[in-house]
Amino acid sequence: TLSAADKPVMVARAWRLAPVDLELPRSAPTTTAGPGLTLDERARVPAPPEQGESQAFFETGHEVGYDTSMEFEFIEGGFGEPGPARVWTRMPRQVLAEKPVSPLQRVMVAVDSGSGISAMLDWRRYLFINVDLTVHLVREPVGEWICLDSVTLAGDDGIGLTDTAILDEHGPIGRGSQSLLVGKRPSA
Q: DSSP string covering 61-121, please?
A: S-SSSHHHH-EEEEEEEETTEEEEEEEEEE--S-SBTTBPPPHHHHHHHHHTTHHHHT--S
Assigned domain for 28 exists: no
Q: What is the pLDDT of residues 125-139, one digit of tens each?
A: 998 898 889 998 888
pLDDT of residue 177: 95
Q: Is residue 7 part of a domain?
A: no
Task: Quote the number of domains for the chain.
Answer: 1
For residue 139, give the CATH number of its domain.
2.40.160.210
Within a domain: 1: no
Tens-place pLDDT, residues 24-64:
776 655 444 444 444 444 556 677 787 777 776 666 676 76
pLDDT tens for 141-168 read 999 999 999 999 999 999 999 999 999 9
Q: For residue 169, tell me if it sits in a domain.
A: yes
Burial classification of residue 160, based on how many CB atoms lie within 10 Å of its CB (0-12 exposed, 13-18 middle, 19 or more buried): buried
Q: Is 148 contained in some domain?
A: yes
pLDDT higher at 97 or 61: 97
Residues 6+ positions from 25 with CB-CB distance below 8 Å:
121
**Largest alpha-carbon pair distance within the chain?**
55
Confidence at residue 32, expressed as pLDDT on a 0 to 100 scale: 41
Closest CA to 31 of 146, 118, 153, 148: 153
In degrees and rounded to multiples of 5, residue 45 shows phi and psi of: -60, 125
The secondary element (H helix, E strand) that includes residue 175 is strand 171-184
pLDDT, position 1: 85
Encoded amino acid at 21, one letter: D
* Cα gap 90→29, rounded to integer Å: 28
**3-state secondary structure (DSSP) of residue 14:** coil
**C-alpha torsion 110→112→118→121, nearest 10:** -150
23 within some domain: no
The whole domain housing 82 covers: 37-184
